[in-house]
Every structure is written in C-alpha cells, then in structure tokens.
Structure 1
Amino acid sequence: MQRVHPLQSIFERAKHVVFSFAIVTILGCAVPTSGGERMQVEVDVFSGRPNPQWTLTPPEADQLIQRVQALPSESGEGDVKEGLGYRGLIVTKSGDRTENYTEISISNGLVIANKNGQLRRLVDQNRTLERWLFQTGKNRLENPLYQQIEQQIK
C-alpha cells in the first residue's frame, strides 16, 4: 500500500473545491437575469416582406420601461404613421420584464402602450424615446437601412 503524504491529500481536496467553485461561478453568470424575458423591437418599415427586428438586452429593456413610464399622457387625437416606408417601432414581449406591457408602438411623437389590456396614449416629446430605442438597433440592422431611417427620425 502506497502512503499518501497528508499535505498531498489536502492539496487534492482544495484543487477539487476550487474547480467546483469555478464551474458553479461560470454557470451562475450564464443564467439570464429576471428569468430570461425578452423584448423584441420591430422596425415597421416594409410591406410584403418581414420587418427587421432585434432583441433588447435586459438593461435596455429595463431602461425602455423606465422611459415609457416617465412619459406624459396624450389627450389629442393623433395616430401612428401609416402608409409606405418607415412607420415606427413596435415592441413586443415574451416574459414579465415589461411591467405588464404587451405591446408598445412608437411613431412620430406618439406612444401607444397596451398595459393590462388597456391602451395608454403617451407623448414622446421630440421623438426622444423613438430615437433612443432605434439607436439600440445600430449594430443589429443593416447599415444602409439604419442610416436611411436615422435621417427620418432626427
């Protein structure tokens, strides 16, 4: 029977503990926050083909909700832009990160937010929310399309 030095046994155990801790830490960092909810942004621009879209990161989604909740109510009769070309942005959810918003349409200074089945009309002064949300898609959209729409919402 081969004798194992007591320190060697301790080092082997410590090595296994450190390895296990590293694996748990790495796996823990890979788990998405807030249950992995997703918010999709769709650019309402095309007719007859799918609109481009991207998924917001959790921090972007949180910031979007904060910005929407800070908007004042709109009392006029304005409506979202219709017709050909860029019409606005549509945010949809899958999960609970959206604070009960199921869809948020942003177009030409107007935000229509569907919250708990009720439509809320909000003012996007100077299209600040629309421009901020659109810029989150800068590296997620084809550059010529991004530049064309960016010129329209300045």
Structure 2
Amino acid sequence: MSLGVNVCMFSGRPDPWWELSESESDKIMQELQRERPKAEKLSARNFLGYRGVEVFDRQDPCRFDRAVVYDGVIEYCKGDETSLFIDEGSSLEEYLLNSAPSPAEFSEELKHMALQDVQKNVHKRNNE
C-alpha cells in the first residue's frame, strides 16, 4: 500500500506532496479506518494559505478517492459521497504534516507555518 500526502497551501503553484513509506502508509490507514465519532460539519477553509492535508490511496482507490484532514475533521470523499469524522486534537493532521521528508518542496519554515495554523485551530476549538 502506498499513500500520497498533499499539503493544500498554495495558489498558482503546485502544493507540496510526498509519498509515505509502506510502514507509514499502514499506520495512517489504521488511523483512518479506526472508529471515530462523526463530525457535524466542516470548518470553513481559507482561500489563501494552509487549507489542510489530503491523503490519497494510490494503490487502492476503492477505499476512498481522498481524505482531507483539516481543523479537527477528517473528510472522506468517494465519488459523490462525503463522510465527516472527528480528528481529536488534530493529532492525525499534525502527524501527516510531520511525516514530510526532509525539506524538498515542503521546507521546515512552511511546515512550521502549517503546524502553527493547526495549533491555532485547536486552541480556538478548545475555547468555544
């Protein structure tokens, strides 16, 4: 199994992306498949800047077309179907951002900016 990760953050140039190793892919699939509470709604995404992390199953697209992890919600997309689940504490989102290989397209500065946005969203949710 091979999962691809895409960080949604740019407009007008390609977003940073990478492929996970077999062991990382297995770990992420276990996380994506574990039972989670359903989420009520998606957070509004920014039009500019960081907008979440997309995960693609490159070898078995039958499971889902993509999963988008952003602001405490995992959005599974399969055709016209969408399912929403809670990413408690945005832990999966942080893990995915930290899975980036050494700076290639996703520099430490960009990773830091995205992780700051994740923490800001967690803080905002905890204070609502």
Taking structure 2 as the reference length, what is the TM-score of the superposition? 0.79
Q: 1:80 to 1:54 in 2, by over 3 A?
A: farther
Matches within 5 A, 1:33-48: 37-48=1-12
CA RMSD of aligned residues (A): 2.1
Is 1:123–2:86 an aligned residue pair? yes
Q: Which runs of 5+ in 1 are unaligned?
A: 1-36
Q: Rg larger in 1 or in 2?
A: 1
Q: 1:139, CA displacement in angstroms?
A: 1.9
1-structure distance, mates of 2:72, 2:35: 11
Structure number with greater CO (CA < 8 Å, separation at least 6) is 2
Among all aligned residue pairs of Structure 1 and Structure 2, give the percentage whose two residues are the same amino acid: 25
Which SS does the other structure have where 2:4 is aligned? strand
Q: 1:80, CA displacement in angstroms?
A: 5.3
Q: 1:82 to 1:148 in 2, by over 3 A?
A: closer
For 2:20, the equivalent position in structure 1 comes to 56
* Count of aligned positions: 117
Higher helix share: 1
Report the AA paired with residue 32 of structure 2: V
Q: 1:128 to 1:80 in 2, by over 3 A?
A: farther
Q: 1:111 to 1:130 in 2, by over 3 A?
A: same
Q: Which runs of 5+ in 2 are unaligned?
A: 120-128
2-structure distance, mates of 1:54, 1:71: 26
Contact 1:93–1:102 at 8 Å: present in 2 too?
yes
Taking structure 1 as the reference length, what is the TM-score of the superposition? 0.67
Which SS does the other structure have where 1:76 is aligned? coil
